[in-house]
Amino acid sequence: MKKIFEKHDLFKIVLLFMLIPVIFSWVMTSGAFSAGTFTASDMTRIGLFDFSSYTLLGFYYFTVNLVFVLVVAGFYKFLGSLEAYQSLTSKLANAWKGKEKIVVAISILLFACLAGLLTEHFALLVIVPFVITVLSKMEVDKVTGVSATFGGILVGLLGATYAGKVVGAMVDANYGIGVSYGFEMMGTIVLFAISYLLLTYFTLVRMSKISGKKVEAEVLVDPFASSIVEDKKSKKKTTAKKVSVLPLVIILVLVLLNTVLAYIPWVDAFKIEIFDKALTWIQEATIFGKEYFAYLLGGETVVKAFGQWDLLNICGIMLFAILVIKIIYHVSFDQVIEEFGSGMKGISKTVVIMLMIYSIILFTLFYPTLPVLIDLIQSLGNNVFTLFASGVLGSIFTVELQYTITQLGSLFANFQNVSISALALQSAAGLVSFIAPTSLILMIGLSMLDVKFKDWVKHIWKFVLALLIIILVILAILMYV
């Protein structure tokens, strides 16, 4: 059995989890929760053609996310072929050499804070590759690379305060569970702080063991590095002009600044309307009686104010940035096309794993056997601990909290204290995301950085166990003290 998972382990583990809802559909009836009450229905089995059809339907339902990951990979593979980019990241790595632990701790904190705030945490993948490049040049190990970036995002989702796909999903007027922004804020902040400190502690301990030769680990390799730069360096004449990094720095700062500002819930969470008003003013401005600025930006259904962007908007920013960089650094169209295509090809393994995980969502939602198991848990008693257990089981197969709410939301909405039940659901989904093979962000990270699942589990299991105990204590205090 051990040898089976030596190669392509991520594919095999996710495939195993794909088969679980299929098996459930053959041995269990289905059902649903409505107003907190479970209602059983007939058995609906997943057949061979159902399996293949729903797997491929992931392309249709989750096209934006898949395309976004491809564009990010193409963008950074192109950047990796530029001497200016390699020079910039090398300067940062050299400046921070010897301070690896501080850099990792700050990286986890920044990604955690942003993930807990943004309307679309997926947008942070625009920032991750840049950090990965710097960390690889600082020669940290692969697992630490995952913790410093994707681990930080998971901390943010666990202790989210305004994240759109977590808190926003529970707040949503149509599909939420009846809470508003700021519910159980103190408990959430405590949970965020403790999870950050725990992950940072275990990561830094690992780094100390590696530096002390007590643990062997593979050095992080930049998946977006290009051979073009090395070829140019080997052929470079001594009289060659030094490439300026300043234009690239300005462009990258603007891209990263857009990534942050565009996904903060300005209106929904903070009641700040400045960006909405600014966009309206621009669109309504006229020159010789014509709204040329509106024509230049594009249609109203596509152009949105900061706080309302989707992933396609930031894809457009990256593509436009490539064009500007191409002009400034005199890059040929052939190099742009080849490197962008190479990046998309290199990330294809990750995209396939994403598609497999998305199919688990579809199997779970369209063949709802999971509520049957959740009802068994609730038969033990309707309290904060059975709710938490239900959230854990539900999050494993519905992958993201917004889909967990789709199937189990009414159960949590009808609890005697909806704020505490919301925190139980959020913390359950967050805990699962650190270790479940169905955790989308985690599996993207492991796949992108070529980390084996067993190596990640060896690193993270103590963190998960400690965090589980802390979550239960926090929920008990909020509920009963």
Give the confidence band of 452 by pLDDT, cuts at 50, 70, 90.
very high
The SS3 call for residue 294 is helix
Which pairs from 266-269 meet CB under 8 Å and 24+ separation?
A: 266/305, 266/306, 266/307, 267/307, 267/308, 268/119, 268/168, 268/171, 268/181, 268/307, 269/162, 269/181
Q: Identify the pLDDT of residue 281.
A: 83
In 81-218, where does DSSP find H-type helix? 83-95, 100-115, 128-137, 142-146, 152-158, 167-171, 185-211
Q: Identify the pLDDT of residue 51.
A: 85
Task: Give the CA distances from residue 242 to residues 236, 245, 327, in Å, rounded to whole numbers and listed in that order.
Answer: 11, 9, 17
Q: To the nearest whole percent, how much of the chain has pLDDT over 90?
A: 74
Mean pLDDT to the nearest integer, 30-52: 87
pLDDT tens readout for residues 182-234? 899 999 999 999 999 999 999 999 999 998 887 778 899 999 987 666 555 55
pLDDT tens readout for residues 282-310? 777 778 777 767 777 776 667 888 988 99
Q: Identify the pLDDT of residue 279.
A: 82
Q: pLDDT: is 254 or 230 the higher one?
A: 254
Q: Taking 70 as the threshold, does the pLDDT of residue 18 lie above it?
A: yes
Q: pLDDT: is 34 or 131 the higher one?
A: 131
Average pLDDT of the chain to the nearest whole number? 90
Q: To the nearest whole percent, how much of the chain has pLDDT over 70?
A: 94
Of the listed ranges 4-8, 217-221, 423-427, the one predicted with least confidence: 4-8
- Residue type at 368 in one-letter notation: P
